[in-house]
Structure 1
Amino acid sequence: MSLAESVTIADLVKNARLDVYAGEEYLAERSVSTSDISRPGLELTGFFNYYPSKRIQLLGITEISYSKGLSHEELLKVMQQMCQPETPAFVISTQLEPPEELLEAAEEKHIPILGSKLTTSRVLSNMTNYLEDKLAERQSIHGVLVDVYGLGILITGDSGVGKSETALELVKRGHRLIADDRVEVYQQDEQTLMGEAPAILKHLLEIRGIGIIDVMTLFGTGAVRSRTKVSLIIHLANFSKDAKYDRLGNGTQDVKFFDVNVPKMVIPVKTGRNLAIIIEAAAMNFRAQSMGYDATETFDRNLNNLIKVNSEKDADEKKQEDKAKKANKKALSKKSGDKDKD
């Protein structure tokens, strides 16, 4: 597992769509190592016992309005205390003007002042989402990640089993490649596992006998994606007559990555099997199950109905048979009585 140590403020400005009010020359040298954002409130009153100076400091309408009620000397003192050497940047929302005291104190410590026309909540959400993605703990998985009908499918299996060739066939059939050979996965939230390619392998696919091909160059931009949610794991296993494989669709197992469980199914690889079509069918069936339809339940229901119908049929036949036996017995008794009279 690996963990990104920091994100530069220059990258944050680009990806969170922020404007630069001051300190543009310091963007590349400043970095942030936590996704937590600070909303300084008590700090403006002079309370700095628990000041999280390593976080980005976000000022909104409330903070700016309060600062206007302070004298120049009071506000400058507060801002100088807030501008610590490790403070990554200040962000001001709603297109508000930064206080002159903040500009002065930040310039002394080479801290950028950023801004946005968005509301404080929106700016907070954009920055948090980006930083959580970039700073999240990552795990490298040997496999291929493809987008099939909008579902992120992680194809795993032993080396040489045909993962990359299957991915190539899926791309030719209109699906999209995210990563080949190595997939970096990270937890986005409590229920979501994301996957992407390492930078060095982005859009590249290795086919034995051909070498490395650039999928985006050969098939176009519609054939690739930068990242996707990992919804299903399909493990390709060499066919063995002694192995037991799921035949009803109720043998799916879960694989845990970080705190997220991802369903996994095993598909045997055998000469003559079209793995791309099988994976397409698996994706469609998985989506149908997530929408409430389960073919296995339909089969069980049909089987139970058939058993019920056959049981009722057997009961009717037995009833008719018993009735016929009684009629025969009655006829024999009557015939025997007639003979006794004679």
Structure 2
Amino acid sequence: MSKTKQRVAVQPESISHRAKALRNNSVISRISSKSRWFALIYRIFVYVILIDLAFVFLYPFIYMITTSLKHPVDLIDFAIKWIPTSLAWENFYYGMKGLQFWTHFNNSALISVVSVIGQVLSCSFVAYGFSRIRFPGREVLFVLCMFTMIIPPQTIIVPLYMQYKTIGWLDSVMPLIVPSFFANGLRGALFIFIFRQLFRGLPWELEDAARVDGCGSFRVYWRIILPLTPPAIVVTTLLSLVWHWNDFFEPSIFLTSEEKFTLPMMLPRLYQSLDTLTGSSFEVFSLPVVMAATFLALIPMLVVYLFLQRYFIQGVERSGLVE
């Protein structure tokens, strides 16, 4: 009898607990549904912003490709905005002919590849000294090195020109290649910073063990430290290659013979080159040929980036450029 009363007495309490649990579950479900709707709206907002930003950056590229495939009459037809009436592949033929593509492709490839090799070796070696070797004034020298990143090359081009003229390097690739082997060249300080950030994160035990085995500083750098930094090597290689390939300012100052010009230097001379090679007036070759020639000058870098894209993103994440 007492047990029955106890069970009966307990039943109202259990019912109240169940009611509270149901109310809590309903509240939690409403909160979770609201949070899901908020997350969905936030994701849509983020995608809209990203698509807008992507279109801003891709618009010139899309315009270049579509225009390069148009006939001259398509440019004056207001009904044609993006898609041409027919594909004018001959624009690329005239573009290659006007650029004298293969001759100046070899010039650009020579300058870019050799400069990349020089910057990877020299900048990594200087970064090793700044990050792994203690010497008086190290931080001051590093700050001065970083200070060179904010100095525009236009401000020092006159003394550089006089120096190279004295040496006899004008109208040659030497002013464009040799500075890269001394941790200079285009954005050399940035590459030193990239390597230094990655070198500082390597364990000192590896270097101590190598020195115990009799390795000197250069051997430690070459055999131990440098092979452990493929992310920095990939980032430096791709950035240096793109910047040297697209550089117009310094080659236009130091190179005077047309047969030594790079591809970007030939773009302003496109019409003149076509007039010389074909004997026709430049008015025959309009904007589509210019866009086709510009796209041809970009194709090598696009191909390189397609092959190195995955390694480049991984390298940026691990080399200290982003958190």
The interval holding the TM-score normalised by the smaller chain is: under 0.3
Task: Give the TM-score, by structure 1 length.
Answer: 0.22
Using CA pairs under 8 Å that are at least 6 residues apart, name the structure with larger relative contact order, 1 or 2. Answer: 2
More helix by share: 2
More strand by share: 1
Task: Give the TM-score, by structure 2 length.
Answer: 0.23
